[in-house]
Structure 1
Amino acid sequence: MTTINPKTFIARLSACRDYFAKIYSVSDLIDQVLFADLAISQKRLPSKLDKLELTDKMLQQIKDLIAEQITSGMSQKEIDAKVHPAQELDWLLTNFRQYLIERYGMYAYISKDWAADLLKYLDGRPALELMAGKGYLTYAVRNLDENYPIIATDNYDWSSRQEELKPVTKVVRMDALAAIDYYSKKGQAIIMSWPPQNSISDWLIVNYLRQQHFYEKGGELILIGEKNGVTGSSQFWKKAETKEIYFLNHNWSNFDIVKDQVFTVS
């Protein structure tokens, strides 16, 4: 099992939910994922996710359930069939983020809990989102406050890869530096989530903001990403000054092995 099929992913997860229905801790964890998917599919803000992993206690309960179903005289093929649902569930939980990327184009998981925190943190400051992708972050802010002064921009370089996925809110087609020039305001917050690894655009943005005296004018750059991990260029993490924003990390969903966090950058 190595390939994500967005069309069958949820059906497979639902089958696991039925199979492990009597193990409430496991079925509750699966329900979190199913409810999150349902919310996103209906353009509602999903809830914060717990860590999507099977604990030692869950694994023991699963082993006990499987053991009850294995009888003497079973062939190895029959035994493998009993074990398969546990392997399937572990794989599906591990790959939920990849499903979100391929099904919805959602790289950073934006929950309603975290969006409410972001709105409080911004505290009325005008905001500009760079590299907005499908616009999930800006959509979340607008969902909570439709009149909030936030603008989403993106150069749409993803459109050739995911043509069928349309933005969930208005995203202005514009290069990041051009967007800074056009929409720059004193005391503004600029938000950048999950910048790509294969580009130094994140470092170019920081350097440009320094040249424009953005920080001296009361501006703040907010970044969502995994430090020295799957997001951002090595130049950025080496040369930019980053500091965790504890208020915005409280409800941030670290649900898999990716340790993405929220930083203020200078």
Structure 2
Amino acid sequence: MNQTELIRFGTGRQLTEIDYLSELLSYQTMFQPIQSVGQLIAQVSQTINAINQGFLPTELPMLEVSDNMIMDVQRYVVDKFPNQPAKGNALWGKLSESLEAVDFLVRHLRDALIEYFSMYGYVSTPFVQDLSRYLGNQPILELMAGHGYLSAGLRALNPEQVIIATDNQLWREQPDITLDQPVTIVENMTGLAALEKYGQEVAVIMMSWAPDTSTADWDLLQVIRENYPTKKLLVIGEYQGATNSKVFWQQAKLKPVLATHHHTFDLINEQVYEVE
């Protein structure tokens, strides 16, 4: 998928210095002759560059240096020095050490997305396209929208659709969190206040990457069940993992949806659920 096919969510950060990307690209020339490893580095660097320039990236495979990639490197060394084992061993030592560094970097892409762009859940172009088709033209309220990547992508695809993004922005009070503004209009209000103001005006309520440090998600679910029982509730997160409270996962009735273009690329298995 080239950049012209990606969803433009805004201007992006337009950062000129991204240490993570510089470190990753420092291995690009070394592994250029080894296609599988070169493609891995390119996929991750393209993801960073797309978001930085204001585009939602493409979907990602599991990000790791696989056994097949290690075998590709070994074959490259043998082919380069078939009759010179000393030189082959020296090259293998250099490449294997660098391969470990590449593996570490790609496995920590999510940390880089959080650090540089405040993107916690991975919001890709194919996923937002799927989500937009799934939602149709129904009016939507997003709770806990964070920096607004999900609503920004949906708004870009369907500018006439009613999409209300809200967040209480408590993340601004946490240490080492970026103070950059959301990438789209996000109203500063709590989830309960957003439900009271907009709950009757929408057909779908979305909640993505609710924190696992409070039971606010459970409080919201109870209010939705009691006061807005006909509304469709979509939750994006990791079941009993990195997102949402334990009581929420215990009490929510879950139906997985939209798995085609929304799957894990690291150890966090975020999914989309319809919740009763």
TM over 0.5: yes
1:28-47 alignment runs, 5 A limit: 28-47=39-58
Measure the CA separation in 2 of the matches of 1:227 and 1:256: 15
1:210 maps to 2:225: yes
1:142 maps to 2:155: yes
Q: In the alignment, which residue of structure 1 is the partner of 2:73?
A: 62
1:239 maps to 2:254: no
Measure the CA separation in 2 of the matches of 1:13 and 1:103: 15
- Partner of 2:250, secondary structure, is helix
Q: In the alignment, which residue of structure 1 is the partner of 2:187?
A: 172
Measure the CA separation in 1 of the matches of 2:162 and 2:178: 28
User: How has the CA–CA distance of structure 1 residues 251 and 75 changed in structure 2, closer, same or farther, with 3 Å as cutoff?
Assistant: closer
1:249 maps to 2:264: no
Q: Tell me by how many angstroms 1:243 deviates.
A: 1.0
Q: Tell me by how many angstroms 1:180 deviates.
A: 0.6
Listed one character per residue, the Cα deviations across residues 99-131 of structure 1 (whole Å, up to 9, x for unaligned) are: 101110001111111111111111111101111
- Amino acid aligned to 1:59: I
1:186–1:219: 8 Å Cα contact kept in structure 2? no
- Partner of 1:264, secondary structure, is strand
1:97 maps to 2:107: no
- Amino acid aligned to 2:103: D
Q: In the alignment, which residue of structure 2 is the partner of 1:228?
A: 240
Measure the CA separation in 1 of the matches of 2:197 and 2:20: 41
| Aligned counterpart in structure 2 of residue 258 of structure 1, from 243, 263, 268 | 268
User: How has the CA–CA distance of structure 1 residues 62 and 177 changed in structure 2, closer, same or farther, with 3 Å as cutoff?
Assistant: same
Runs of at least 4 residues off by over 6 Å: 73-76
- Amino acid aligned to 1:128: L
| Aligned counterpart in structure 1 of residue 231 of structure 2, from 194, 206, 219 | 219
1:45–1:111: 8 Å Cα contact kept in structure 2? yes
User: How has the CA–CA distance of structure 1 residues 176 and 187 changed in structure 2, closer, same or farther, with 3 Å as cutoff?
Assistant: closer
When the two structures are superposed, what TM-score results if normalisation uses the length of structure 2? 0.85
- Amino acid aligned to 2:275: V
1:66–1:83: 8 Å Cα contact kept in structure 2? no
- Partner of 1:198, secondary structure, is coil
2:77–2:92: 8 Å Cα contact kept in structure 1? no
User: How has the CA–CA distance of structure 1 residues 166 and 63 changed in structure 2, closer, same or farther, with 3 Å as cutoff?
Assistant: farther
- Partner of 1:117, secondary structure, is helix
- Partner of 1:263, secondary structure, is strand
- Please identify, of 167-176 and 184-193, the stretch whose mean Cα deviation from structure 2 is larger: 184-193
When the two structures are superposed, what TM-score results if normalisation uses the length of structure 1? 0.89
User: How has the CA–CA distance of structure 1 residues 66 and 125 changed in structure 2, closer, same or farther, with 3 Å as cutoff?
Assistant: same
1:7-22 alignment runs, 5 A limit: 7-22=18-33
Measure the CA separation in 1 of the matches of 2:254 and 2:77: 47
Q: In the alignment, which residue of structure 2 is the partner of 1:3?
A: none
Measure the CA separation in 2 of the matches of 1:251 and 1:156: 28
Equivalent pairs: percent with the same residue? 34
Measure the CA separation in 2 of the matches of 1:171 and 1:116: 21
Measure the CA separation in 2 of the matches of 1:89 and 1:95: 10
Measure the CA separation in 1 of the matches of 2:135 and 2:233: 11
Q: In the alignment, which residue of structure 2 is the partner of 1:112?
A: 125
- Please identify, of 28-37 and 128-137, the stretch whose mean Cα deviation from structure 2 is larger: 28-37
Listed one character per residue, the Cα deviations across residues 154-173 of structure 1 (whole Å, up to 9, x for unaligned) are: 00001234343210000000
Measure the CA separation in 1 of the matches of 2:243 and 2:96: 35
- Please identify, of 48-57 and 235-244, the stretch whose mean Cα deviation from structure 2 is larger: 48-57
User: How has the CA–CA distance of structure 1 residues 163 and 34 changed in structure 2, closer, same or farther, with 3 Å as cutoff?
Assistant: closer
- Partner of 1:229, secondary structure, is coil
C-alpha RMSD over aligned residues: 2.2
- Partner of 2:172, secondary structure, is coil
